[in-house]
A and B are shown apart, each in its own frame.
Chain A
C-alpha cells in the first residue's frame, strides 16, 4: 500500500472543502483535522515499505523524514492557528471572508510543500515551490495594511526572481543531462538523474548549480538573498510565520541539497560544498549581527531563522556522515523550536497588542506559562543545553574542527554572536517590569509544550532507532 496519494490528497480535498466553509470556527476545526489526518497518514510512510519511484513520486528516507516533519508542524500550526485566528476576528483585524480564504490557502500551502518534497520531477518540484510561494504571498498580505502589502510585494518580487533563476538552472540541468539521456521526461526525473549523473556534462552542471543555488537560496533566505524574509515574517499572521520559518525554508533547502547530491554524483563537476559553506557562513554572520538591533519581536526571530538556515547549509556543505547527521537533526529541531517560539510570541503580541519588544517586556511576570515557554524556546534556539539544538550544533562544530579548524572557529564565533544577540533581547522580553496587557490572553499552549518536550527529549536522549535512521539518511546525502 502506498500512503502518498493520501498524503497529497488530504490537503487538496481539504482545500476544496474549506473554500466552501463560511463559518470560521468550523473552518479552523476542519483545517486542524485535515492537517492531523495528513500527519497520521504520513506516519504510514515510516511503517510501510518504501515504494519504488514512479513518474510522479520519489520516496527515500530523506524526504520521508521531511514529510513527517512538515505534516507534524503543519498540524500543530493549524491547531495553534484556530485559537489565534479566533482572537483576530474578535479584535476585528480579520473578517470571516478573509478566513475562508486563509484556511483554504493553508491547505494549498501544505499540499504544495508536500508535493515539492515528494515529486520525482525537478520541473514539478519547481512548480510546487512556486505554488507554495504564491500561497504564502497571499497569506502575508492577509491583513491588507500598507506594510503588509509592501512586505508581500517585496517577498513576491524577490521570490519570483528566485523562482525564475531556479527554472533557468533546471533547464540547464536538463541540458546537461541531454547528452547522456536524450530528450524527454526522463532527463527531469530525480530517480533517473541520480542514476545517470556521472555521465552528465560537468561544466553545464556547475553553471546550473549556481543558478539553482541562487534561485532556491532566495527561497531559503540565505544571505545575501534574504531581504524579503524578515518583512514577510513580521507582517503575516503568526501561524504563517511559523510555517514559513519552520517548513518552507526547509523545502527550499531540500531542493538545494538534492541538487548538491546530483553534483556530488558527477565526478568532474565542481565540489558544491565550498559554495554552500560560504553562503551558510555569511547567513550566520549577517543574521547573527542583525539580531542585536531588532525592536520587532517577529523580525528578531526571523533573523534567527536566517541564521539557522545558514548553520544547516554549512552542515550540508561540509558533507560527510557526521556533518550531514548534524544538519538533519538541526533542520528538524529548528523547525520544532522556531514554530514553538512563533506560537508563543503570537499569543504574547496578541495580548499586548504590539510586536514591539519594549512593550512585550516582563512576560514571565504577567504570564508565567507563556513567558517561561518563550524563555525555554529562546534558550533552545540559541543553542543552550539541555535542548536538542545544542546537540546538533555541538556535533557540527566538533565534526568541523578536525577537518577544517579555521571553519570551525568561524562557525563558533558566528554561533556565539547569534547567541549573544538573542540573550540580550530575551532579557528585555521575558524579564523586568511587566507591561500592561491590552487584551486578555487566549489560546492554547499545548502545541508549544509538545514542541518543547520533543526538543528536550532530543537533547537528552535520542532513541537508538532514530539515530540509526538519521545515520542512514546522512549516508545517502554523501
Chain B
C-alpha cells in the first residue's frame, strides 16, 4: 500500500511540475509567467520533500527548502520587483506563437518519454518515470529560453530547466551530492538575479543572435 502511495504521489508531483512548465509557456504576461514559475518551484519543493520522506533521506529536505525559499519565493518576488521597477512591457515577446510552442512542448514531452523509457528498462519504475518527466521539464525549460525573447523569461526558462534537474536528482535513489548541486545552482541563480538587478538588463537579446554585438564590433556592414 505504501509503495503504491509513494509511487502515486511522486507521479503526481512530477506531473504538477510538468504542468506548471506548460503554464509558463501558456502565459502571455510577464507577471503571469513569474507566478506560474513560482507554482512550479513549489511543486518541485513538494516533490523533493516527498522523496526525502519516502527514501528516508533527510538531506533532501534541504534541497526542498532551497527550492521553496529561493525559487518559490525569493526569485519570483525579486523578478516581480524588477519587472515593475524597470517597467518592462508586461507582455511576453514571443519568437514563436504560444499555441505553436505549446504543441512543440507536447512534442518534446513525447520525445523525452520515447528517449528515456527504452534505455532505462532495468531501473525501478519510479526512477524511469521521474527521469522521463524530469527530462521533459528540462526540455520545456529550453523551449522557454529559446522562444521567449526577454531576459526575464530567459531566466525563468533557465530556472525551470534547473527544476527539471532537481526533479531528476531527487528521483534517482541514493544520489549523493544532490544538496551540493542545488546549492551550486542556487549560486548561479542568485548570480543571475544580481546581474539583472544591477545591470538593468532590460529587454535584450535573443541569446542566439550574434547580431547586436557583431554590429557593435563593426563586423557587419
Direct contact of A and B (CB under 8 A): yes
Question: Which of B118, B142, B204, B219 touches A299 (beta carbons < 8 Å)?
Answer: B219
Asked whether B181 lies within 8 Å of A167 as measured between CB atoms, the reply is yes
Contact present for A295 and B204 (CB under 8 Å): no
B208 at the A interface (CB under 8 A): yes
B118 with A147: CB separation less than 8 A = no
Residue pair A123, B181 in contact (C-beta under 8 Å): yes
| Inter-chain contact B158/A160, CB cutoff 8 Å | yes
User: Is A130 within 8 A of B184, CB to CB?
Assistant: yes
Most buried by A among B119, B121, B173: B119
The 0/1 profile, CB within 8 Å of B marked 1, for residues 167-181 of chain A is 110011011001100
Closest chain-A Cβ to B151's Cβ sits at a distance in Å of: 7
B131-153 CB contact bits vs A (8 Å, 1 = yes)?
A: 10011001000100100000100
Q: In the assembled complex, which residues on chain B have CB atoms less than 8 Å from the CB atom of A182? A: 174
Alpha-carbon gap, A227 to B216, bound state (A):
16
Contacts A127-B184, A164-B158: A174 and B138 contacting too (C-beta < 8 A)?
Answer: no
Q: Interface of chain A, helix or strand or loop or mixed?
A: helix
Q: Kindly state whether residue B129 has any CB partner on chain A within 8 Å.
A: no
Asked if A171 contacts B175 (CB within 8 A), the reply is: yes
Interface pair A123/B180, CB less than 8 Å apart: yes
Query: B195, A147: Cβ atoms under 8 Å?
Result: no
Residues on B with C-beta less than 8 A from A355 are 217
Contact status A175-B123, CB under 8 Å:
yes
- Contact status B205-A150, CB under 8 Å: yes
> Which residues of the partner chain A approach B204 to less than 8 Å between Cβ atoms?
150, 153
In the assembled complex, the Cα of A127 lies from the Cα of B184 at a distance in Å of: 7
Q: How far is the CB of B127 from chain A (nearest CB, A)?
A: 7
Pick from A198-206, A441-449, A463-471 the stretch touching chain B: A198-206
B176-A161 in contact (CB<8A)? no
Please state if A160 and B188 are interface contacts (CB–CB under 8 Å). yes
- What are 5 A-to-B residue pairs whose CB atoms are below 8 Å? A146-B216, A152-B195, A165-B138, A204-B119, A295-B219
B interface vs A, CB < 8 Å? 115-116, 118-123, 127, 131, 134-135, 138, 142, 145, 151, 154, 158, 161-162, 164-165, 168-169, 172-177, 180-181, 184, 187-188, 191-192, 195, 199, 201, 204-205, 207-208, 210, 212-213, 216-219
Known: A123-B181, A182-B174, A204-B123. 7 other contacts (CB 8 A): A156-B191, A156-B195, A157-B154, A161-B142, A168-B134, A168-B138, A171-B172
